[in-house]
Structure 1
């Protein structure tokens, strides 16, 4: 890993979401960074200004102050600019969702993260890149069509709820003296509006999953979910969960450099974003494609 001197010039790009959600942590991070290095602070108001700030960084080392979405945006911008290979990125996690940054080894808390920016070292990490130039830093998952509890009612049948007043009306069937009451009830009872059952996360029912050109599961086997996660350097680990009937089915495991999923329209969650629907997507592992400044290992 390459180490850095504290005299490096830093370009500190502060995401607007971080400024609005936790201004105190932003201030602390900025103070620690400014005390340890020459800094230029940018306060972009949107994605376009964010991208321009990175494009105009010159020789300064970029530091993103923001959540997982801000980190992903920075890597995406540098990837599109074809400058990831020459750029060591740093991040101080501030904001709502920060699980990705922490899973990559970035310290929690603005002081510890800012100190890692100043005293840490660049670690090269793998990147998943799809055919549309989208990037994935951590793991991605294709969820089930909808959760079991929403898909099935008692005994595996679709769950249904009777409208309000339906039971009372049924009890009056065959009793002529209640017909007047039934008519009155129909008039007074407000029937609930027709609603479409709320499905869970959209996803596949039948997919073909190929790893390095070898079919792991084909369209004749419904699947519950597919996940792709980083493995050994240059390798992605793939897990396919077939749709279980009765006893839970064992997951199908594979690993390789290229993963292709195709079939029915599906959405997928990659890092902090949900994308799709798409009919086909191929992800390729690029080994050591980007650098992140992390604490020096003891």
Structure 2
């Protein structure tokens, strides 16, 4: 990720606290509010849902936004600012509180509530690279395409009428004690992966996984793991500004969410797109 460190510009803070953070760790939220209000002029917003969250950020004025919540809260703020075309002018801070914090910590945000709140006050802005796809979705931390789940023979998911009959039978026949069943292992995916227009792997080579992360200097780092036969196959590595994946109805995990199925998706690196306040090194 590209980084340009500058001092955080505004002492006027808009603190937007996600409802999940308030429900899961109210004590950390209270500590964060105390630390921030002791070090800066703060306005605290307690949105009850996505619409109120968006309204608070949109009406922030000259205040520097601080979002308190987990990875989904961080990504909700980044997506909103990106789609409003305001990321370039906005310096965002995040205090990780909640059940899923891997993305924020991977970006360099401190793990503890007190340390993260102090970084909001004393840290510096760093410009980080971001992936943007052709549906206007964004990726800050990592994009992963896992292997496909193997469907058992005669899977009813492809026969809606069979699903209906099975459901009817279950309502008429007394339930039996559950028996141990075998869960099918994931099967290999067949995808074409292109980096800057050059094919890295094609559809005739089964894959275990694909991962794409924003790297440095405006380039994405790409790793493709071929499906091993006998000895483990070495991963294929590449870097570039655009990554295109083509295949039959694949899903992918982008930061804190899962998207798809799609048959084709292109991600492009936006160098220095996100301004995030992080501790001074």
TM-score range normalised by the length of the shorter chain: 0.7 to 0.9
Match of 1:91 among 90, 94, 114: 94
| Aligned twin of 1:258 | 242
Match of 1:132 in 2: 135
**Equivalent position of 1:167 in the other structure:** none
Q: 1:293 aligns with which of 268, 277, 281?
A: 277
Structure 1 match to 2:222: 238
Asked if residue 268 in structure 1 is aligned to residue 252 in structure 2, the reply is: yes
Distance 1:291 1:4 in 2: 10
Q: Which residue of 2 aligns with 1:216?
A: 200
The counterpart of 1:101, out of the listed 101, 104, 109, is 104
Match for residue 144 of structure 1? 147
Paired with 1:41 and 1:190, the residues of 2 have a C-alpha distance of 53
Matched residue, 2:263:
279
Structure 1 residue 243 displacement after superposition: 1.3
Residue by residue over 1:252-277, the C-alpha shift from the partner in whole angstroms, topping out at 9 and shown as x without a partner, is 11110100001111111111111111
* Cα shift readout 1:134-167 (whole Å, capped 9, x = no counterpart): 00001111001138xx99xxxxxx9xxxxxxxxx
When you count strand as a share of all residues, which structure comes out higher?
Answer: 2
2:8 corresponds in structure 1 to 4
Aligned-partner Cα distance in 2 for 1:57–1:229? 30
| Distance in 2, Cα, partners of 1:217 & 1:36 | 52
Give the drift of 1:196. 9.3
Q: 1:34 aligns to what?
A: 37
Question: Does the 8 Å CA contact 1:204/1:265 hold for their aligned counterparts?
Answer: no
With the length of structure 2 as denominator, give the TM-score of the two structures. Answer: 0.86
* Residue 190 to residue 111, structure 1, CA distance change in 2 (3 Å): closer
Deviations 1:196-241 (A, max 9, x none): 975567x862110000000001111111110111222201111111
| 1:192-231 matched pairs, under 5 angstroms | 198=183, 205-231=189-215
The 2-side partners of 1:110 and 1:193 are apart by 44
* In 1: Cα distance, 2:136 partner to 2:34 partner: 36
Helix, strand or coil: the match of 2:27? helix
Q: Is the 8 A contact 2:129 2:215 kept in 1?
A: no
CA RMSD in angstroms comes to 2.4
The reply on whether 1:115 has 2:99 as its aligned counterpart is no
Conservation of the 8 A alpha-carbon contact between 1:269 and 1:275: yes
**Unmatched segments (≥5 aa) in structure 2:** 154-173
> Could you tell me which of 40, 44, 49 is aligned with 1:46?
49
Matched, 1:57 2:71: no
Stretches of structure 1 that go unaligned for 5 or more consecutive residues are 152-157, 159-188
Computing the radius of gyration over CA atoms, which structure comes out larger, 1 or 2?
1
What's the TM-score once normalised by structure 1's chain length?
Answer: 0.81
1:38-63 CA-to-partner distances (Å, cap 9, x unmatched) read: 11111111111111110000000000
| Aligned equivalent of 2:156 | none
**Residue of structure 2 in register with 1:82 after alignment:** 85
